Structure 1
Amino acid sequence: MAKLFHLERRSFVPSQPPHRLNEEQACSAPLVELADLQRILDEAGPLLKVEQVCEVRAGPHQFPVHAITLGNPSPEVPAVGFFGGVHGLERIGSRVVMAYLRNLVMRLKWDAQLHRQLESLRLVFMPIVNPGGLWAGTRANPKGVDLMRNAPVEASEPVSFLVGGQRLSSALPWYRGGQHAPMELESQALCSVVQNELLNHPFSIAIDCHSGFGMVDRIWFPHAHTIRPIEHLPEMQALSQIFDQAYPHHRYVVEPQSRQYLTHGDLWDHLYLKASAQADTTFLPLTLEMGSWLWIKKNPRQLFSRQGIFNPLAEHRQQRVLRRHMAWLDFITHAASSHARWVPTGPARDEHRQAAFARWY
């Protein structure tokens, strides 16, 4: 089998097994997730292409932010992007993305079907968008800016105080950044990768992995800045329908984020609006919001841990979470590569739109 792409090697941090670091050490040592990512890339060898898209200073450290790609680079094929670690406290998001990347790397050694799939599909990974926040154990980046409130998008309806994004102070949560300041380096890097690797394809999906809302796992789609439905509501209804048919026993709640709360500055709203301005482009940005309250219910002592509010601290629960979402991520790659078979057209699109309004609005 021919080599897919060249791997640019770079040593991130001294190698140390993640399980040897406790929670306090994880916030003060060089970033464990980067060491784990390096091991995956070493295992992959020349099968991946790795690009450093920016570098972030946090305390005494300089952390790289990388985009990893594999599959067909042609802009004619569909593409899927996987993103994690946008909020530093939500380490499980990075780990879910890296678990799926590791799965693909191991399968590339023997899975001929995967190689055939990648001939007609582009995959992009940004497992650690906010390494400074992961290192410091904060939701925001090292400058105190919440990256998911940082885009130049204003909510068209009232938002909840603070939670919807605020410009009062970086000492308060959900800080958006200065009124006329440019987007943060990490936000710009994510937007650049999406623009260059996803929005130049006729069909693409993004999966952004988060945690911390509710007791069930939710799959959110735009909008977050308004209750108005997105233009691609029929496509979202069709995608949800084929997922329900293929996995009838799944426990995800699929819904627009606006059903829960509205925000200013949502990065995915910003990117969706940019994609919608392009002709003949379908871009479906999805957020996997893992319900961390369930982990707290099973272990109330996690409430006393800053990391525990957003992550499964017990090893067996973390392993269960990593297993649980592999089917969803794999489903998305197959749905993207076969989108011509399920994306509705003509009268079917109107039917899906009506079904979506009845379901979500």
Structure 2
Amino acid sequence: MSTAYPFLPELAELERLIKQGEGLMQARTVASVQAGRHHLPIRVLTLGSEAPDAPVVGFFGGVHGLERIGTQVILAFIHNLLMRLRWDPLLEHQLSQVRLLFMPLVNPGGMLQHRRANPGGIDLMRNAPIDAGEPVAWLLGGHRLGSWLPWYRGRHGEAMAPESQALCQVVEEELLSRPMALALDCHSGFGLRDRIWFPLASSRRPIEVLGEIYTLKTLFDQAYPHHRYVFEPQSRQYLTHGDLWDHLYLQSRHQGKGLFLPFTLEMGSWTWVRKNPRQLLSRLGPFNPIAPHRQQRVMRTHLAFMEFLTRVAGSGPRWLDGHLRSARHRMDAMHLWYRDV
């Protein structure tokens, strides 16, 4: 492990992977944040095709500082890719057609301080300039009462937090400018099942690309029939103000440049707590697997879905054309997810 950031293992591992991937992967710092006496970089890594019209998949983690497992899963995927590039010509060919982007640690200050919010007390997933069109749960859905309470949105009219701005800028420049882009934001802390959420979090109305999302789900069901993910709009669970992915999705529709499909992986951390209730005694316990064997299982479980997204991005002409993109898929999606709306 790198000795550059011994006080934050995930950032140290990220720096180690950057060094290991020299010549294969590009890395840059898009922002720097202050956490106590530490200046912490927000890093972005890119790998694969340099063509401006190549499809891109973005992987994001560490938006909530307590949810370390999301960052760790992305770091494991980067390690997997770098190791395979030593011997796998098929992966080399795949990456000649697809661009991958990684932002594994969006909120390094929050992770260092063992808090969900950033060092300023702002919950980044309640921080975008978008209000829910329907009532949200008190506090949980985002509020402006003050940073001493969780789920604080920030002051009305203020610019977004530096971490939120960095994420949005990267997505706008690297993903929304492409004919096709997918995004996966890795979180934990909800439910007994792993969930793949998609927008909207601010409204129960179906989004315009619902048919494409249902097609992607169908392809994954067919290829991995034994998976345990629940695919659903986030609004089936709860509504929030200020969701960054709602903001970016709506921006993509306004620009009308290409197809943008953002997903959130919400790892079912209640299972870890149910198996080991003592985790509740730890600040990190409700959000991360503590037992080594459970952590190892989680680290390998999600690689298949991440690889699937990479392959789907490079196969757009096949799965987006013809009968797979028929109106029937949107009708099926409406029946599955919105029949009660």
In the alignment, structure 2 segments of 5+ residues that lack a partner are none
Q: Tell which deviates more after alignment, 238-247 or 38-47.
A: 38-47
Q: Shift of the alpha carbon at 1:348?
A: 4.2
Q: Who is 2:240 aligned against? A: 263
Cα deviation code 1:149-185 (max 9, x no counterpart): 0000100000000000000010000000000110000
Are the equivalent residues in 2 in contact too, given 1:344–1:352 (CA < 8 A)?
no
Are the equivalent residues in 2 in contact too, given 1:211–1:292 (CA < 8 A)?
yes
Are the equivalent residues in 2 in contact too, given 1:224–1:261 (CA < 8 A)?
yes
Q: Tell which deviates more after alignment, 102-111 or 228-237.
A: 102-111
Q: Shift of the alpha carbon at 1:14?
A: 3.3
What is the identity percentage for the equivalent residue pairs of Structure 1 and Structure 2? 57
Distance 2:211 2:35 in 1: 43
Q: Who is 1:335 aligned against? A: 312
Distance 1:60 1:104 in 2: 34
Q: Who is 1:164 aligned against? A: 141
Are the equivalent residues in 1 in contact too, given 2:177–2:257 (CA < 8 A)?
no
Are the equivalent residues in 2 in contact too, given 1:238–1:344 (CA < 8 A)?
no
Pair 192,299 (structure 1): closer, same or farther in 2 beyond 3 Å: same
Are the equivalent residues in 2 in contact too, given 1:87–1:133 (CA < 8 A)?
yes
In the alignment, structure 1 segments of 5+ residues that lack a partner are 1-10, 17-29
Q: Who is 2:170 aligned against? A: 193
Pairing partner for 2:181 from 204, 217, 227: 204
What is the aligned residue count? 338
1:123 matched to 2:100:
yes
Q: Shift of the alpha carbon at 1:349?
A: 2.7
Q: Shift of the alpha carbon at 1:280?
A: 4.1
Q: Who is 1:326 aligned against? A: 303
Give the letter aligned to residue 40 of structure 2: F
TM-score (norm 1): 0.91
Instruction: Say which SS state the counterpart of residue 153 (structure 2) adopts.
Output: coil
Q: Shift of the alpha carbon at 1:107?
A: 1.0
Instruction: Say which SS state the counterpart of residue 49 (structure 1) adopts.
Output: strand
Q: Who is 1:301 aligned against? A: 278
1:71 matched to 2:71:
no
- Superposition RMSD on alpha carbons, in Å? 1.4
Distance 1:347 1:309 in 2: 40
Distance 1:233 1:345 in 2: 16
Q: Shift of the alpha carbon at 1:42?
A: 1.8
Q: Who is 1:81 aligned against? A: 58
Are the equivalent residues in 1 in contact too, given 2:211–2:329 (CA < 8 A)?
yes
Pair 140,221 (structure 1): closer, same or farther in 2 beyond 3 Å: same
Q: Shift of the alpha carbon at 1:344?
A: 4.8
Segments ≥4 residues shifted beyond 3 Å: 11-16, 344-348
Distance 1:184 1:344 in 2: 40
Q: Shift of the alpha carbon at 1:73?
A: 2.1
Pairing partner for 2:4 from 2, 14, 17: 14
